[in-house]
Amino acid sequence: MRRPSGVSGALACSLSLFAIVLPLNSSTLVQEAHLPADVGHRLVRLGLPVPVAVGTIYLGAVVIGILTYVVSGVDPKAAWVLAGLIGATLLVGGGFLLTVPVSLRAPAAVRRSLRVAETAEWMLVDYNPEEDSSMTQFGQDDYGMDTGSSAVVIVDLVLQYLNPKSVVDAGCGTGTFLQEFEKRGVATILGLDGPATKAAFGPDGSNFLAADLTARVELDRRFDLALCLEVAEHLPAGSADLLVRTLTDLAPVVLFSAAHPAQGGQGHINERWPVYWHRRFSQHNYVLLDILRGPLSDQPRVLDCYRWNIAFYVESSRCTAILDRAEKFDVPDAFVQAEHDITTHLQRQPWRDLVRTLVRKLGRRVRRSTR
């Protein structure tokens, strides 16, 4: 068999490499990670620093190019193709670096130097912005996931069980959930998050308070309901007990959701199974009420992370009233509901429809991976 020339081999190498690397600037956002679904960003998600991830791509380009050059035969013309390949890869790596959010790209010291002390009408006990080391320092550009539809459904469901007059959200982000409570007549709302988040906060700025969620947050009042949704996994394990202490100090009812192991996402450093949080809330005599995931299991408008993880933690003395309402609604079990719905739905579908759906699904996956 005739061995391919160095030029053709290097061109083949180029096509193979860019088939993997080029999605850097064009792939769709990964819902749970807010990052493009390409090799470089996946390296960052695995914990590699951005320069190391970029260097890995560069090294891969050089190694593949050299191996191709050697295997294909020493052809002087291939040297130019190889040089172009490496140069183009450097440009692509630079594009990758630009697509990484500044919150991940900048050193921690720089991010801390950009923090600005915030003021609000709420009294926060012993808070010093200069010493704020919160791990929830997300900026306006870091909230790419649309939670609006989820907030509408979840808030309506919560209001079937509760009638809160005041709501506080620890790790509020853009304040989408608070806005939905406000639309439904909740008189008092407050969002707690890192100072940089205020630029992305949707409700009136007077309802935002800069706080370090890695430390205990003490306010001069309590609320009817506290939210903490997909926040705890962004905080170090050493602050988990303090976060739960903060939430139980803030309200008798806590709406809580935290990422489970292998869920994945930007800045996740403490993904845990629910029992991890059950134990910590139980130390404050708060009881788990898993009465939300069942009704949400058949709600496609709600993001998976909420449908999988959300639950109430309630002071034991207040459980009965909430459970009375849940019993009236005949709340289904989340696991049984999900398994039953999927099995029943599939059993009722003709084979032709199932095969057609599978082919369409595979086609979308292929198109998405090549964008």
Name the band, by pLDDT with cuts 50, 70 and 90, for residue 134: very low
Q: Which of 43-57, 270-284, 350-364 has the lowest mean pLDDT?
A: 43-57
pLDDT, one tens digit per residue, over 59-105 is: 776 777 677 666 656 566 666 666 676 666 666 555 555 555 444 44
Name the band, by pLDDT with cuts 50, 70 and 90, for residue 51: low
Answer with the residue of higher pLDDT: 35 or 282: 282
CA atoms within 13 A on the CB side of 255: 29
Q: What is the pLDDT of residue 333?
A: 77
CATH annotation of 117-332:
3.40.50.150
Q: What is the pLDDT of residue 178?
A: 97
> How high is the mean pLDDT of the chain?
75
SS3 per-residue string spanning the chain: CCCCCHHHHHHHHHHHHHHHHHHHHCCCECCCCCCECCHHHHHHHCCCCHHHHHHHHHHHHHHHHHHHHHHHCCCHHHHHHHHHHHHHHHHHHHHHHHHCCHHHHCCHHHHHHCCCCCCCCCCECCCCHHHCCCCCCCCHHHCCCCCHHHHHHHHHHHHHHCCCCEEEEECCCCCHHHHHHHHCCCCEEEEEECHHHHHHCCCCHHHEEECCCCCCCCECCCCCEEEEECCHHHCCHHHHHHHHHHHHHHCCEEEEECCCCCCCCCCCCCCCCHHHHHHHHHCCCEEEECCCHHHHCCCCCCCHHHHHHCEEEEEHHHHHHHHHHHHHCCCCCHHHHHHHHHHHHHHCCCHHHHHHHHHHHHHHHHHHHCC
Name the band, by pLDDT with cuts 50, 70 and 90, for residue 348: low
Q: What is the pLDDT of residue 299?
A: 86
Q: Is the pLDDT of residue 367 over 70?
A: yes
State what percent of residues in the chain have pLDDT above 70.
58
Mention every residue, 6+ apart, whose C-beta is less than 8 A from residue 159: 184
Answer with the residue of higher pLDDT: 133 or 27: 133
State what percent of residues in the chain have pLDDT above 90.
42
Q: What is the pLDDT of residue 356?
A: 76
Q: What is the pLDDT of residue 41?
A: 55
**Domain map of the chain by residue range?**
6-100, 117-332, 339-369
Q: Is the pLDDT of residue 45 over 70?
A: no
Q: Is the pLDDT of residue 209 over 90?
A: yes
Mean pLDDT of 163-183: 95
Name the band, by pLDDT with cuts 50, 70 and 90, for residue 120: very low
Mean pLDDT of 282-301: 92
Q: What is the pLDDT of residue 69?
A: 63
| 328 C-beta neighbours (distance < 10 Å), count | 9
Whole-angstrom distance, CA of residue 204 vs CA of residue 255: 22
